Every structure is written in C-alpha cells, then in structure tokens.
Amino acid sequence: MERFDSTERIGVNHVENIFLSDFKWIPRKILESDIGIDMEVEICKKEKYTGQLIGIQIKSGESYFKETSFGEVIYRGSLIHLEYWLNHSLPIIIVLHNPKTNKTIWQKIDESTIIHTKKGWKVKIPTSQDLALSCKEDLENLNKYPLYYQRLQRLAVHKELMQSIADGEKIVVEVDEWVNKTIGKATIQIKLVGALYTETILSKGDYIHFHNVEDLKILFPWADFTTDEEYYDEHMQDEFISEYGVYDSEEGGYIGTSISYEDFKSGLPAIRAIPDGSGEIQTYRLELLLNSLGRSFLEINNYLDFGLQINLLL
C-alpha cells in the first residue's frame, strides 16, 4: 500500500517525470518507507548507468511556498529528518512542488545550506532554482566521491533490503518490459512477499535504457537472481494448456496434455519472461538472493555495528 496522499503523489509523479523525461535519468520511488526520502535518482550518461545516486525528499503543496524572503522560499523541517539526511550515504536535495503553479524548486541539504534556529532549522531555496535541465550539471556535481565509494553508496542504500533477505524474507524484483520500445522502457518494482503470498511494494520506478535482465546485475550488484517459480506456475498454465493440451470435441474441453508440465518447464530458459498477450509487454519475476558481495558487505557492516555497540557500552 503506497503511503502518499493525493497532493504528495502529484508532486512525486511530477518530479519523477522531470528526471525521467527531461534528464533521461532513473528515478526510483520509495513507497513503503519511513526513512525520510521519497526517491533515489541515478544519473545516466550516454544512455548508461553511472552508479551516481542522489536522494530526493519531495514536499508538494501551496503551503510550502507561503514563507518567502528576498526571492527565496523558506523551508523548515524536523530535527529527526535533518539528522537522517546529514548522515545519509547519499547527497540529499529537497524539492518543493506547487501543484497550482507547477513551480518546482530545489536545494541541497548539507551544512553549507542549513540554518539552525532556536526551535529547529531552516533552509533557503531560491525561487529561481528550478528543477530543470539548467541545473543538470549542478546535480551531477553533488556526488563527486571516487567511483569505489559510489559503489559502496549503492550497497549502503540497499543494506536494509539485503538484511531482509539474510533474515529469510522473500524479496522479488518484477520487471514489466515494453518489448517494442527502442529506448528500452521498463517498470521495475521491488516487492516483499509475505505469508499467504501477500505482497508489499517497497519501491517502484520507470526506467529507460533497459535492454535485458542482465541490466539487473548493474542495478543490484549484490544479488543473484532466480525465477519465482510459484508465480510462473500460476501464470503459465494457460500457455502450457494451449500449446500441449489435448482437446476432446465430444467432451467440449481439454482431457489432458501431450507432455507433462515438468517436461514443458525443462525446455524453458532459467530466466524467462511471461508475455502479456498483447505483444507489447513481457514480465520477469525474479527472487533476489545474496551473492558473495552482498554477504560480505553485511558481514562487514554487522561487525562494525557490533564494534560500535561495544564502544558505546565501555
């Protein structure tokens, strides 16, 4: 269940469209989270993923534009969120969107922009600082850490996801790929599959430059992938029956199959797509498993966390 109300959703969708359509970058909405960011954006250059990530907090509504001073909008936030943003592994920007005027402005959140007050803190956002292509270079320069550190950032962003898998939770990635789009368009969702096959959407994003499931290894370098066989069994029975079913005209229905379902599956690729019937979209549904990189990252982090806890007790 998504956590945005209608006004918030308008702002999130608007910002997502700016990054996706204008910047040609990859926005990923975070739907089921309390962590204080609404979206991660990955910078793309020459239609390739770079690993450069930015965290986005979006505030949508006319009320956020009411306090102004000398061409700047004043945003006041909670200390809890400020502490989270300043300690985040990614550079964070706040984006304000006014649905009435369609005005969308932004500001980076760091020690150079925030102003501490008696009751909390504030940040000044120039009304001229629109979220538009004119600021593309400024946003690219927000994350100038060395490449090896940016790779660690990607791992850090997915730490909770990796820990859930390590704890025995079932996490799947579901890819709806538009097969006839030359730009490589796809929608990717990360879902938590719970008891009785209930599903919770953890994140969702529309992608461009997506060419095949091999791209998932770039997006999730800490994971191995295996087909979610329960899901495929449920959705491929009709295809199996239509192809191998033995139809009895007297009975008016199928009375069996010419091969077994297991034989049918044995001839399919390990990682395969399910067509939607229209010829426009095919779906991949893959379970995420930790690979050696993911396991090592968690082991190191758990070791460091344990050491920090010991130091706090001493």
Global pTM reads 0.68
For 98-125, the pLDDT digits (tens) are 999 999 999 999 999 999 998 889 999 9
Residues 92 and 224 placed together within one structural domain of the fold: no
- Give me the pLDDT at residue 178, please: 87
Mean per-residue pLDDT over the chain, rounded: 85
Residues 27 and 92 placed together within one structural domain of the fold: yes
Residues 99 and 178 placed together within one structural domain of the fold: no
Q: Let me know if residue 311 belongs to a domain.
A: no
Q: Let me know if residue 203 belongs to a domain.
A: yes
| Final residue of a structural domain among 138, 154, 170 | 154
Q: Let me know if residue 67 belongs to a domain.
A: yes
For 4-14, the pLDDT digits (tens) are 457 788 898 99
Which residues 6+ apart lie within 8 Å of 83 measured at CB?
Answer: none
Which of 172-176, 214-218, 265-269 ranks highest by mean pLDDT?
172-176
> At 165, phi and psi to the nearest 5?
-65, -45
Torsion of the alpha carbons at 64, 67, 71 and 77, rounded to the nearest 10: -60
Residue type, 107: Q
| Final residue of a structural domain among 139, 154, 169 | 154
Residues 210 and 148 placed together within one structural domain of the fold: no
Burial class of residue 252 (count of CB atoms within 10 Å of its CB; 0-12, 13-18, 19+): exposed
| Structural domain containing residue 116 | 6-154
- Give me the pLDDT at residue 309, please: 41
Residues 239 and 165 placed together within one structural domain of the fold: yes
**Structure confidence at residue 1 as a pLDDT band (50, 70, 90):** very low
Above pLDDT 90, what percent of the chain?
41
For residues 57 and 106, give the distance between their C-alpha atoms in angstroms, rounded to a whole number. 10
Residues 280/304, Cβ–Cβ less than 8 Å:
no
For 157-196, the pLDDT digits (tens) are 888 899 999 999 999 999 999 887 666 788 899 999 998 8
Average pLDDT over residues 59-69: 94
- State the total domains in the chain: 2
- Give me the pLDDT at residue 148, please: 67
| Final residue of a structural domain among 132, 154, 176 | 154
C-alpha Rg value of the chain to the nearest Å: 23
- Give me the pLDDT at residue 308, please: 43
